[in-house]
Structure 1
Amino acid sequence: MKPNFAMLGLITAGASSAAAIVYLAHKGNNNTNWFSICQQFNSFCERISGSLIGSFVAVVLLILLILLSAIALSRHH
């Protein structure tokens, strides 16, 4: 059961860091002179936003799989 939680942690960390990058791409950060790049590269921002949604869908699916396997293990014993 522990490898499932480790994988959940890795996928969640990856999706969260991707969310931070997508936020910077859309909004930028004026304090550090990082400007938003979505005005220049619109198709890039659409693609990374779509992949971000896919990452969080993977997190939800893995949580469901962990819950289902926990239920299956509890019924066996």
Structure 2
Amino acid sequence: MANAMLNIRIVQPRMMSIKQAADYVGLPLRRFPRICTVRPVALPESEERYDIRDLDQWIDQIKVGGADTDADILGRLG
């Protein structure tokens, strides 16, 4: 019997579309832009993309209670 070697490599993209970012953080696409305070990055000759590191940081802030709400941000603006 012949032996076959299967080499599978999964690459997680660092920059994600809005749909990928919403899926990554577990939010419905319609709610993601309203809830997530991470701003997308405008890449040259591309659509805007979300940086996975920014998304991870946002989630970590929520877990420790450090994420700003819209009211917090507006309050600081005066």
TM-score above 0.5: no
Normalized against structure 2, the TM-score is what? 0.22
Determine which structure has greater relative contact order: mean sequence separation of CA pairs < 8 Å that are 6+ residues apart, divided by chain length: 1
- Higher strand proportion (structure 1 or 2): 2
- Higher helix proportion (structure 1 or 2): 1
Normalized against structure 1, the TM-score is what? 0.22
